[in-house]
Chain A
Amino acid sequence: MGDFLQFNEVTKQYGALKAVDGVSLHIRRGEFFSLLGPSGCGKTTLLRMLAGFERPDRGRVLLDGEDITDLPPNKRKVNTIFQNYALFPHLTVRENIAFGLRVARVADAAIKQQVDEMIELIQLGAHANKKPHQISGGQKQRVAIARALINKPEVLLLDEPLAALDLKLRQRMLLELDQIHDQVGITFLYVTHDQGEAMSLSDRIAVMHEGRIEQLGTPAEIYETPHSSFVAAFIGDTNFFDGRVEALTDKDYCRLTIEGFPPALCYNDKRKQPNELVHLSVRPEKFRISLEQPTLSPQHNLVEGQVQEVVYLGSQTKYLVKVQEYLLAITQQHSRFLLDQRPIKWDDRVWVWWHADDGYMLDRYREQDEALMEMPAH
């Protein structure tokens, strides 16, 4: 089961640029699998090699045990939902959906029945005889899905299918995609640079960076235990500290010295030894913030700082707090309890704390990741 769809050491080069660089991926049958990464990291290229529009320079692509590397696109049991839908403008919604079956020479009666079912599934009965330019973005999206699904592909490829939609519609289509995946039960390979989409839909995610797979795992694994500072920074916001292991306090924890910041206690799952250089990553929502000094267990780190900025976001509030030389990004969910208190304001002196288990140590980052980390928290 684990090797339903395989990329084996696949490389694709454009001139000097390695768009995809030795990628190996094993995707399970029925899985909702996401490729996530910044623009230009090679996601589309990888997808196009699976669909048959690009030929890898090296490596093989296997689907259900069969080597499909050299098959033309029309011979692969794979269908794609293109970023801008690519609906045929001169055909109606119904004819668009029927296209694949027509090509496959299915009998007219069977085509009619299956197309009707599909139109039912995507709830576009009222628009079946319209041309693509007469329907809305969300409806086009659904036609594209129906047009692909009617061929009962082994794998459905989705290349940033929601990128052209506005936020509200995007959220609704996310739910619909999820439902459709549950209903049809085929493998989805989903490409996006939006980590929110990937997190909410996927069984597993592969984070890509410069043509390579940086990390592969469930959304929780990738969020909670990023393998590299690139992944940590790309998946959600985080605070990074440059530190050095000072001492092992017991078998599970160590104490870090951080230049320009108070020393911090940290969970030491990587068995770091004294004097090793590390990065400490703490997610904004792992911090707690208060005007009064709390009483805490020894496993907590407590620092004092000054509020530089407060951004109210409805369901949560974002603070920037200056602690010595660091500016911490902190988000807090609202609770009724919090509303009773005097709200934290600009320039307030505050206490900030986090549990040692919520800090995450990373080896080091590569030079080029630094730009990413300096991007303003959004």
Chain B
Amino acid sequence: MTLLFLVPTALVFAISFKPSDPWGGIGAGWTLDTIRSLGNPNYPAIIWRTLWISFVTTACCLVLAVPCGYYIARAPQRWRRLLLLLTVIPFWTSFLIRIFAWKVLLHPEGHVKRGLVAVGLADESTMLLYRSEAVLLVMVYTLLPFAILPIYAAAEKFDFKLLEAARDLGATQWRAFRQIFLPGIQRGLLTAVLMVLIPSLGMYIIPDIVGGPRSEMIANKIAQRTFVDRNVPHASALSAALTLAVMAPMLAVLLGRRRREGGR
């Protein structure tokens, strides 16, 4: 497993330091030109957009997944199965089909648009599709199960007597939830953050389909450099930067976890 990950990653990093040739191949020798080209003034905006969409997606997923995980874990056994099934049912249809379904829904002639116009929340000229908010919405929808599952797994192991104990000691429901439940499912929360944040940072399909030119993310640029510009080293350099960005939160979490366990 580690090898399957490390070898291509190393290759990508290596290619970043190669020059490109005009036929889409990789030139001979080594150069820092490609790395320098990352200074392109277009990139900061795209990187910034990638970051905020990813973090907001993660935050939304957590806010939605924590109550979901809590209620599924507290539901009677036979309900629990059903609710879990409902959580994973979207996986039964292809990822692409679901995104296109959203495109249909958000389309100027789609149901969502017409519904919003009908209740007066939007007018005919409002554009739902091809903007960052659409990307965000579809990303939250797609990644939510990946947040619910680890949080549910942690909540299921949580001893709900502890919440009663906190209430007994004078805590309000909200305080017991915050100070006892959330720390109690901490591991699940961390896993959920990773499971949502990392795919978000590298998300390519969703901005491509429901996003417009002004909601491009970094992965779209990588694809563009590879398939349109045929500049593999440049794409590699971007990928390497993205890989580093993805590794950062993972390492932070791992280190944090190690320190906490060491401190016990």
Contact = CB atoms under 8 A, between A and B. Distances in A.
B184 A89 contact: yes
B165 A82 contact: yes
Interface string B182-220: 011010000000000000000000000000000000000
Contacts of A52: 167-168
A72 B175 CA distance: 14
A80 B175 CA distance: 18
Contact of B167 (A74, A88, A151): A74
Contacts of A131: 264
Interface in A165-193: none
A73 B164 contact: yes
Given A90-B184, A103-B175, A131-B264, A84 B161 contact: yes
A120 B184 CA distance: 29
Given A80-B168, A100-B169, A88 B162 contact: yes
A131 B260 CA distance: 13
Q: Decide if the interface of chain B is mainly helix, strand, loop or mixed.
A: helix
A88 B166 CA distance: 9
A74 B171 CA distance: 6
Contacts, number: 58
A131 B263 CA distance: 11
A103 B171 contact: yes
A4 interface: no
Contact of B162 (A74, A78, A86, A104): A86
B172 interface: yes
B160 to A, nearest CB: 10
Contacts of A34: none
A252 to B, nearest CB: 52
A89 B169 CA distance: 16
Contacts of B171: 74, 99, 103
Contacts of A73: 164, 167-168
Interface in A70-122: 72-74, 78-80, 82, 84, 86-90, 99-100, 103-104
A103 B161 CA distance: 18
B109 interface: no
A307 interface: no
Contacts of B170: 74, 100, 103-104, 151
Nearest to B162: A86
Given A80-B168, A99-B166, A100-B170, A86 B183 contact: no
**Candidate in A74, A87, A147 with the most chain B CB atoms within 10 angstroms:** A74
Contacts of B159: 86
A123 B144 CA distance: 49
Given A104-B170, A147-B169, A86 B161 contact: yes
B155 to A, nearest CB: 15
A51 interface: yes
B264 A80 contact: no
Nearest to A72: B167
Nearest to A79: B168
Contacts of B38: none
Contacts of A78: 168
A312 interface: no
Contacts of B186: 90
Contacts of B60: none
B180 interface: yes
A53 interface: yes
Contacts of B264: 131, 134
B169 A82 contact: no
**Candidate in A52, A72, A103, A131 with the most chain B CB atoms within 10 angstroms:** A103
A82 B161 contact: yes
Interface in B132-169: 159, 161-162, 164-169
A218 B182 CA distance: 46
A320 to B, nearest CB: 43
Given A74-B168, A82-B161, A148-B168, 14 more contacts: A53-B164, A73-B167, A73-B168, A74-B167, A82-B164, A84-B161, A88-B162, A89-B162, A89-B184, A99-B169, A100-B169, A103-B169, A131-B264, A151-B170
Interface of B: 159, 161-162, 164-172, 175, 180, 183-184, 186, 264
12 contacts: A74-B168, A74-B169, A79-B168, A80-B164, A80-B168, A82-B161, A86-B162, A88-B180, A90-B184, A103-B171, A148-B168, A151-B170
What 3 pairs between A and B have smallest CB-CB spacing? A86-B165, A100-B169, A73-B167
